Amino acid sequence: MIRTYKQKNKKTKESPTNTKKINKKRTAKTNKVFEKGKLRVTVVGGAEEVGRNMTMIEYEDDIMIIDMGLQFPEEDMPGIDYIIPNISYLEDKIDRVKGVVITHGHMDHIGGVPHIIGKIGNPPIYTGKLTAGLVAKRCEEHKGCPKLNIVEIDSKKKARVGKNFNVEFLRVNHSIQDSFAVIIHTPVGTVVHTGDFKIDYSPVNDKPADLNRIALLGDKGVLLMMSDSTDSTHPGYQISESTIGEEIDGLLDDIKGRVIIGTFASQLSRLQKLFELAAKHGRRINLQGRSMTTNVEIAHKIGYLKFNPRIIVEDKELGRLPDDKIMILGTGAQGESNAFLVRVVNGEHRSIHMKKGDTVIFSSSVIPGNERSIQALKDQVVRQGAKIIHYQMMDVHAGGHAKAEDLKLMMRLIKPEFFVPIEGNHYLLQAHAELAEQVGIPKEKIFVPDNGQVIKFEKKGRNTSGTMTNEKIPSDYVMVDGLGVGDVYNIVLRDRRVMAEDGMIVIIATIDTKTTNTIGNPDIISRGFVYMKENKKLIEDTRMKVKKIVNDHDSKTPDDDYIKNKIRNEVGKFLFAKTKRRPMVLPVVIKV
C-alpha cells in the first residue's frame, strides 16, 4: 500500500509559513534545455566513490531523482564533516523535478536530503516505512529542512512521477529493512535501479527478494539496468545474515564475561538477531552511541525491531548485573575517534571501562582507509585484558552487498539491453562491467560513467540507441563544515593541509607611517612549525629578515598589501632554506 507520511510541523525558513514561496519556485519559468524524445540518465554522485549516491533521470519536462546521500570526508579534508551531491544543474529546473525515490535508510543514500530537498522545490519523496522515519528524524536535526512530503511505499503499488514515469518498487534484501530496487517505465523503455542489495535466501526479520518477479520483469524487456558495485571485486556469494546469528549463538554458549559488540547502527537485521540471542542467553542489552539508540528506537516503534523493552538496561544499572548477564551494543568498530568503543578503551566513557574477562566482537568488515585506526583500537583492547573476535576469525559479519556471483545472477534474471554499474570507485565499476560481459551483455552496451556524465537513450523505429556522451553536468564536491554548506573550497582545504603538515607562523610588524620603517622588532607567533624556546636563533634571524624587508623599500610606496606579500614570499623562502619546511606565513601590518 501507499501512505503519505507527513513530518511534524516545524517552523523553519521553508516551513508551512513559507509554502507560498516554495510553490512559486516550483512553478517558476525555467530554461527549457530538455531534448525531445530522449531519455537522459546521469549519475550525479556515486560513480567515483563509495557514498554520495544520487542518480537523475530526465525525459522532456520531467526529472526524477534516486537517492540523496552523503560521503564521509577523505584523509586530506581536515575539518570537513561530510560531502553531498552538487545540484547546481537543477537550479533553473526546479519545476521539472517531479519526485525523489530513496531506496533505503543508510546515510550514503539519505544524508544529503536536509541540505538538498528544499533547494529543488520540496518534491514528494517516495520511500519505505522505516526509511521515512529515518529521513524525518534526520531532517528534524537540520533547521533549514522544510516540512517533508513523504509518500510511504511498498512492493505492491505503483506511483506516477510526472507525466512520463510510471514507477514500481521491488523489495530487495540488504543490511537494513525496507530496501527497494526501483523500476521506472519511461516512453523510451524500462530502467531498473537496484539500490544496495544482496541475495539472501534466509534473511533475518525480512522476506527473501522475489526472484520470480525479477525474472518476469526481465522477460518483459529491460532497457537499462543500473546496479550496486560495492562488492563487485569479491568472488562467490554473500553469506546469509542467519549464518551470523548461528556463529554468535555458539560463541555466547562459551563466553562467561561481558560481551561488547561493535557494529554499524544501520545493521538492523544484525541488531534483531542480537536481541533474540541476548534473550535466549539471559543477557540484558545496553545500547551505546547516539545513532545506535536512535535507529533502534525508530525501528522498534514501527515494528521492524521486535523485542521486549525490559531487555534494555541503562548505564546506571550495569553495575548491579553480573558480567555474564550483560551484552553491550555500540558503534565504533571502524575506529572512529568519537565513537563508543574508542571512548571506552581511552578511558573517556562516563560509565563503561574495558576490563579483564570482556569479549569484544567486531561484527563489521574493515572499510578501506580505516585499517590503521582499527588495528590501534584492537591493540588497546587486548592491552586492557579483553579478548577479540572478528570476522576474519569467524563468520560474525555478513556484508549487505552482492558479491560477484550474486551480481551475475541478477543480471541474468533482468537481462538488460544496456548496463551501467554504479555505487563504487571507478575500479569497482570496471570490475562490475567485466562481470556484465561474462553474462553476455555486449561491451558496446556497457557504460562506465564518471560523476555527472550524461547517458542518452532514444527510440529509432523498433530499436533503441544508447550513448555515453561527453556532456557533463557539475558534480564536484559540496562540502559540509559545521553550519556551512558549500562554502569550503579547494583553496581552503589546501590551507588547512599546509597548516596540518608544516604549521603556521604569524609575523606582526608595527610601522611608523611617517618614516615607513619598523618600530622595534617584529613579533612572531609559531603554531605547529617550531617550538620557539628551542629555536631562538631561527626566530631572531626571522625577525631581522622581516625588519630588513620592511625597511628596504621605496618610502613613496608604503602599500600594506605590497608589504604583506613581500613578507609572505621572502620569509617563506627564508624558512624553507633553513628548515626544508613550508609553514603558512601570515603577516600582520600595524601602522601608527
Q: How far apart are CA 428 and CA 422, in angstroms?
A: 9
Cβ distance 136 to 28 under 8 Å? no
Cβ distance 422 to 228 under 8 Å? yes
The x, y and z cell numbers of residue 430, run together, are 570496471
Handedness of CA 76, 79, 85, 87 (dihedral sign): negative
CA 203: distance to chain centroid? 25
CA distances, 66 to each of 98, 176, 179, 250, 367 (Å): 12, 18, 13, 41, 24
Cβ distance 540 to 580 under 8 Å? no
Angle at 589 between CA 583 and CA 591, to 5 degrees: 170
Q: Which residues 6+ apart lie within 8 Å of 123 measured at CB?
A: 26, 97, 98, 99, 100, 117, 149
Catalytic residue, chosen from 109, 397, 401, 432, is 401
Provide the 8-state DSSP code for 30.
-
Catalytic residue at 228?
yes
Report the SS3 class of residue 136.
helix
Q: Match 632554506 to its residue by C-alpha cell.
A: 577
Q: How far apart are CA 355 and CA 258, in angstroms?
A: 9
Catalytic residue, chosen from 108, 196, 206, 228, is 228
Catalytic residue at 401?
yes
Output the CA torsion 568→570→573→574 (10° steps).
-110
Output the CA torsion 499→500→501→506 (10° steps).
30
Cβ distance 181 to 203 under 8 Å? no
Report the SS3 class of residue 497.
helix
Report the 10 Å Cβ neighbour count for 569.
13
Q: How far apart are CA 361 and CA 341, in angstroms?
A: 11
Report the SS3 class of residue 73.
coil
Which residues are catalytically annotated? 228, 401
